[in-house]
Structure 1
């Protein structure tokens, strides 16, 4: 099975939810199930940003998932950059990940 290596960074306090580590190198499957299924023969699609968000929640997030994910995507107040560009310019969750991509999550919400 082929995989993709991507760099993931967290800032603005989000790193506290991920073992207090700002930068992570992760390897994920290049092809993922097109729909939630345990069937190995299920149709596959290229891994996208939505898949990565769920993978991070399930594999790296140490606490308080509600501060990172809401309604199947990142919660409001988190800026997502794909190779230094706002993810809104790249198709948001539908952006198909590529080898070597750099994905940055920055919380813009600060306590007072």
Structure 2
């Protein structure tokens, strides 16, 4: 009988953890340089709290973050300077915790709590 009660308690605990995961958020720092900050209210650093999972209950990725930034953070109407065909525009370097995003899986990287994500425009007028 005690074993059955322990199993029930564990299952209930797991269910609550699953419910919390659906409503939990990730605290991240997003930075923009190289001129990109002007698309984001001339603010270089943004401390954001984003959902931990997307609409499909999957962990959020950099691709999700890019769309999230365009919908929720970018005040400038020139979204084409940041995204092109729903992907990050070529010429924008991304560092995830000081590592090139190409080493981390680019848009498929699953964002972790306390991540620092830096977007740098390498294209400048002349």
User: Tell me, what secondary structure is at the counterpart of 1:103?
Assistant: strand
Give the TM-score taking structure 2 as reference length: 0.80
User: Tell me, what secondary structure is at the counterpart of 1:21?
Assistant: coil
State the distance in 2 between where 1:31 and 1:11 align. Answer: 27
1:57-103 Cα offsets, whole Å, 9 max, x none, are: 00111111000011111100000000001101000010000000000
State the distance in 1 between where 2:46 and 2:87 align. Answer: 19
Q: Match of 2:59?
A: 46
Offset of residue 13 of structure 1: 0.2
Given the alignment of the two structures, is residue 72 of structure 1 paired with residue 94 of structure 2, yes or no? no
1:28-81 Cα offsets, whole Å, 9 max, x none, are: 1101123xxxxxxxxx10011100000000011111100001111110000000
Q: Match of 1:96?
A: 110
State the distance in 2 between where 1:80 and 1:8 align. Answer: 10
Write out aligned runs for 1:1-112 (5 A).
Answer: 1-34=23-56, 44-63=57-76, 64-112=78-126
Computed over aligned residues only, the root mean square deviation of the Cα atoms, in angstroms, reads 0.6
Give the TM-score taking structure 1 as reference length: 0.90
Larger radius of gyration: 2
Unaligned stretches of 5+ residues in structure 1: 35-43
Q: How many residues align?
A: 103
Higher helix share: 2
